Amino acid sequence: MTDKPSHTTVLLDEAVDALLAAAGDAPVGTWIDATFGRGGHSRRILSRLSPQGRLLAFDKDPEAIQEAARIPDARFSIRHEGFRHLADLPAASAAGVLMDLGVSSPQIDSPERGFSFRFDGPLDMRMDTTRGQSVAEWLADAEVGQIAEVIREYGEERFAGPIAKAIVARRQERGALATTAELADLVAGAVKTREQGQNPATRTFQALRIFINAELEELQQALEASLQVLQPGGRLVVISFHSLEDRIVKQFIARHSKEVFDRRAPFATPQPMRLKALDRTKPSAAEVAANPRARSAVMRVAERTEV
C-alpha cells in the first residue's frame, strides 16, 4: 500500500512562539487551532501548554479529523467544522487563535482529492468530502459568465474568458469535465502565454478550489469571530499563502487597529481600537530551500486590546 504524502508545517516555531509569547512558560486557558490540517501546530502548542491548558481545533476535512484522533491528550479536542464556527464559542473564551490557511501536502498530493493538476484524479477539490458540490458538479451546469467571473476573481487569471468558453464548449461537444487532467489540458490550450516556472492551470485550479470551498468568505467570518472570542491580550496569528488571503487579513488587522469615528456624530466618543498589529513574518531562506511550498507564506500577528 502506498504511504500517504507527508506534510511539513510552515512557520511552525514562529507561529507557536508568536501565539504563546505573552502567556509565560506554562500557558493556561483555552487556545484555538482554527485550521488543524495535519496537526503540526497543534502538537507543538500542546507540548508547551501547562496541564491546565486546553487546545480546541477545527477542521472540515474528514482526513484531518482522523489524524486528530491520533493525539492521545485529554487537553485536546477537535470539531469537524470550518473555522467560521469560532463564532459559536463564548465571548472572550480564548487565550489565542491560530489560523494556518494553507492546503496541506496530503490534500494536494492525494490524486483522489482532485486539488492538483499534477496528478490525474476526480475533479473534486472539496475540503469536506462529506457535503457540498464538487468542482466537476458545478462546472457541469455553470454558465460561461459565472465560470469566467470565478476564475478571474479568485485566480486573478487574465485568460478567464477563454478558459470559461473552452470549458463550456467541451461540455457541449463531449460532456462535462470529470478529471483534473482533463481540466489541466483544456486550460493549457486556452492560456496563450505562460508565467515562467508556473503551470498554466495554476490560477484556474486555485480559483475553483477557493470558490467551491467559499474560502475567502469563511476567512472573513472567522476573523470577525476571533474578535469576539479572544480575551484582552490574546494573540491572533494568521498564515496566508496567496495575495487574496493576505490582503483580507492585512486589511482586517489595519481596520481594527485604529479608533473609529462616527462621522454622523463628530463629538461622540470614538469606538476604541480592538487590535494592535504586532508583526509580519515570512519564512527564512533556509525554510524555503527545505520546503519550497513555504515560499509564498506570510504570517501576520495582532493582539486583542483592552476594551
pLDDT tens digit sequence for 175-230 = 999 999 999 999 999 998 777 778 899 999 999 999 999 999 999 999 999 999 99
Residue with more model confidence, 303 or 199: 303
pLDDT bin (cut points 50, 70, 90) of residue 260 is low
Distance CA 98, CA 302 (A): 11
Handedness of CA 198, 204, 208, 210 (dihedral sign): positive
Task: Quote the pLDDT of residue 197.
Answer: 74
The domain made up of 12-105+216-304 has a fold known as Rossmann fold (3.40.50)
Q: How many residues does the chain have?
A: 307
Task: Quote the pLDDT of residue 1.
Answer: 36
Distance CA 12, CA 286 (A): 13
Distance CA 209, CA 287 (A): 26
Q: Which CATH number fits domain 129-212: 3.40.50.300, 3.40.190.10, 1.10.150.170, 3.40.50.620?
A: 1.10.150.170
Task: Quote the pLDDT of residue 2.
Answer: 42
Q: Are 104 and 38 in contact (CB under 8 A)?
A: yes
pLDDT over 90 percentage in the chain: 80
Terminal alpha carbon distance of the chain = 55
Task: Quote the pLDDT of residue 307.
Answer: 65
pLDDT tens-place string over residues 14-60: 999 999 998 888 899 999 999 999 999 999 999 999 999 999 999 99
Distance CA 107, CA 66 (A): 14
pLDDT bin (cut points 50, 70, 90) of residue 114 is confident
Task: Quote the pLDDT of residue 265.
Answer: 60
Among all chains, which residue has been given the C-alpha cell 474568458? 161
pLDDT bin (cut points 50, 70, 90) of residue 264 is low
Distance CA 185, CA 166 (A): 11
| pLDDT value at 115 more than 90 | no
Q: Are 50 and 27 in contact (CB under 8 A)?
A: yes
Among all chains, which residue has been given the C-alpha cell 477557493? 210
Reported pTM: 0.90
CA angle, 160 then 163 then 167, to 5°: 135
Residue with more model confidence, 26 or 67: 67
Task: Quote the pLDDT of residue 4.
Answer: 53
- Summary mean pLDDT of the chain: 92
Q: What is the mean pLDDT of residues 298-304?
A: 97
Q: What is the mean pLDDT of residues 235-246?
A: 96
Per-domain residue ranges of the chain: 12-105+216-304, 129-212
Whether 12-105+216-304 and 129-212 share one fold: the answer is no
Q: What is the 3-state secondary structure (H, E, C) of the chain?
A: CCCCCCCCCCCHHHHHHHHHCCCCCCCCCEEEECCCCCCHHHHHHHHHCCCCCEEEEECCCHHHHHHHCCCCCCCEEEECCCHHHHHHCCCCCEEEEEEECCCCHHHHHCHHHCCCCCCCCECCCCCCCCCCCCHHHHHCCCCHHHHHHHHHHHHCCCCHHHHHHHHHHHHHHHCCCCEHHHHHHHHHHHCCCCCCCCCCCHHHHHHHHHHHCCHHHHHHHHHHHHHHHEEEEEEEEEEECCHHHHHHHHHHHHHCCCCECCCCCCCCCCECCCEEEEEEECCCHHHHHHCHHHCCCEEEEEEECCC
Lowest mean pLDDT among 8-22, 25-39, 66-80, 107-121: 107-121
Task: Quote the pLDDT of residue 188.
Answer: 94
Residue with more model confidence, 6 or 4: 6
